Structure 1
Amino acid sequence: MNGRDSGERGLKRRAFLGATLGAAAAATLTAGATAAHAEELGDADRGKRRIPPSAIGMHLYTMRTPLAQDFAGTLEKLAAIGYATVGVSGRHGHDAAQIRRMLDATGLKAVLEHVSFTTITNGGWEQALEDVRTLGGRWIVIPSLPGSMGTPAGYREAARLFNEAGLAARRAGLKLLFHNHDADHRTVEGEVLYDILLKETDPALVGFELDLYWAAKLGGNPADYFTDHPRRFPALHVKDMAPDGDFADVGSGVLDFAAMFRSARRGGVKQWLVEHDRPADPFASARNSYDYLSKLRF
């Protein structure tokens, strides 16, 4: 062995040792950071699930007042808070293509749009489907039924129409969802109206955007829907209830979201959309609700 070979081997050995020690140090730092994170979460939260950041959205009905004044600026502020997605509810003078451009500029994604029930029956359904596709959404949502349909017979007729409209939606690459209010959970003529829709719509064609506040308003447990009707609830309206029954920022009221969300995977939930029907300060409400959901473990 000459001096040059010996020198080269020495350099290689030192490089190998340096790399090994560097990897060990990095592993130690990573382990330390993981331990610190676990300590920060606390023993009670270790191993629990969280809502994926990409699944925390804002239903834009909450923001209707600032949207009417500055649509693009409102979207920018929601994105800055941390929201990843939105549910569109009211266009405030903009068409679907214009809203899509504003969303793209902020990095937000529209996952759904609310359209009137009459859109199904007045010949506007195909255009509504095309508009949701333009927005980039996955679901087209009927937000309520006419009061004249508030009987078991009316809900059975709605279920029939939903199946037909849901087939057209599937052909367009979308899915029809129905959004509930408290009236949908009433018992009429011995039948729970909402249950009629669950039973008489085709799961392949019709799903549900479950509003947790309204589902709980009459004393029900929204999580029961997830276990009793698996994979039928791809989107939620996460809305909290104040002690007096009014609306509240998410996390500041009485609803036990952690308990509900433990069954969310079984229910097929993919989007958690914040909503507050009457926020005193829409942006403060948006920040408070996002902060709660982003930290929630269940």
Structure 2
Amino acid sequence: MLFLKKKLTTTVQIISLILASTAAGFSYADTAPVTATEPQLSVQLWSVKDAMQADFEGTLTKLAAMGFQGVEFAGFFGKYANDAAGLKAFLNSLGLKASGAHVPFEKFSTEQFDATVAFYKALDCHYLIIPMDQRAFTVEGAKAVAADLAAVQEKLTPLGMQVGYHNHKPEMLGDAGKTPWDLIGKNTNSKVILQQDVGWTEVAGKDPVDFIKAYPGRTVTTHYKASAPEPGNTEDPIIGKDTTDWKALITANKTIGGTQWLVVEQESYPAGMTPMQSVEASLKGLQAIIAEMK
């Protein structure tokens, strides 16, 4: 009976989100059923890049001790740059997984594709996200980015891997359903991950939940950022001390997004706090919100 009650609750949540997205002017690009998820917690290592450069293994050890279950790489691998198997073994020793990696388009060129794929497969890292492409800052440019993403995904699908794209502010500007982000979503198939950075989405004046609802099952990983470094932005950069409706966002991620990883990212740091202290504070804030929802 408890199982049926939970299942009914999830179904009601999904129907409610569908109706809300329709009312907001969004339409589903893919209406296939989405299985509810229980996302794990990761951290984008760019958040603590200086610490990673200073002490790669020590920093990963501290992040694991904080309670992170995964890490998202950003192109720096310390002494493991040519030893993905060794890095995988080290992550295993800490109880960490590679939740994904930010990988620029050039790494998928004909010359570099095989080496790129071999490295990340050995690392057991299946979600490879393009961190930024300025072509996607306009609607026309976004179409070209979508075509490139589709081509990469076609090569990755037989390998059990997925490519994705990560937004900043410009991709989210424009009318609902007509932003550069929408052009990418509508011109790629459901295998291409739409990794939303909710901090930048909010800086663009949009509700990140709307974009999750518009493309069900495609928010496989999400960047949870309380504040983006926009001039004049005074939002508190620690999750739980800001104004984001995290509970609504988590619900959308879990019931509509197909989300496997919630990835904490810091680009702004409170005065007197180091980047490591900041990501730990955001992790604790996120954990407290999740605990309140149970």
TM over 0.5: yes
**Alignment correspondent of 1:127:** 115
Q: Aligned to 1:90, what secondary structure does the other structure show?
A: coil
Q: 1:109 to 1:274 in 2, by over 3 A?
A: same
1:274 to 256, 261, 264: 264
Q: Aligned to 1:56, what secondary structure does the other structure show?
A: strand
What are the within-5 Å matches in structure 2 for residues 14-25 of structure 1?
none
Q: Where in structure 1 are there 5+ consecutive unaligned residues?
A: 1-50
Q: 1:256 to 1:149 in 2, by over 3 A?
A: closer
Q: 1:246 to 1:90 in 2, by over 3 A?
A: farther
Residue 249 of structure 2 aligns with an amino acid whose one-letter code is M
2:164 is aligned with 1:177: yes
2:154 to 142, 160, 167: 167
**Alignment correspondent of 1:288:** 281
What are the within-5 Å matches in structure 2 for residues 55-204 of structure 1?
55-93=40-78, 94-95=80-81, 96-121=84-109, 123-145=111-133, 147-148=134-135, 150-187=137-174, 191-203=178-190
Residue 72 of structure 2 aligns with an amino acid whose one-letter code is G
What are the within-5 Å matches in structure 2 for residues 216-227 of structure 1?
216-227=202-213
CA distance in 2 between counterparts of 1:56 and 1:166 reads 25
**Alignment correspondent of 1:261:** 250
State the Cα distance separating 1:246 from its structure 2 match: 5.4
Q: 1:88 to 1:259 in 2, by over 3 A?
A: same
Q: What is the RMSD of the two structures over their aligned residues, measured on CA atoms? A: 2.3
- Is this contact kept in 2: 1:239–1:247, CA < 8 A? no
**Alignment correspondent of 1:40:** none
CA distance in 2 between counterparts of 1:293 and 1:164 reads 36
CA distance in 2 between counterparts of 1:125 and 1:152 reads 27
State the Cα distance separating 1:100 from its structure 2 match: 2.2
State the Cα distance separating 1:221 from its structure 2 match: 0.5
- Cα deviation per residue 1:61-108 (whole Å; 9 max; x = unaligned)? 111111101111111111111111111113154313343233122111
Q: Where in structure 2 are there 5+ consecutive unaligned residues?
A: 1-36
Which gives a bigger RCO, structure 1 or 2 (Cα 8 Å, sep 6+)? 2
Residue 241 of structure 2 aligns with an amino acid whose one-letter code is S
Q: Aligned to 2:196, what secondary structure does the other structure show?
A: strand
Moved more, 97-106 or 64-73: 97-106
CA distance in 2 between counterparts of 1:187 and 1:124 reads 35
- Is this contact kept in 2: 1:247–1:277, CA < 8 A? no
CA distance in 2 between counterparts of 1:55 and 1:281 reads 24
Q: 1:165 to 1:59 in 2, by over 3 A?
A: same
Residue 97 of structure 1 aligns with an amino acid whose one-letter code is A
Count of residue correspondences = 244
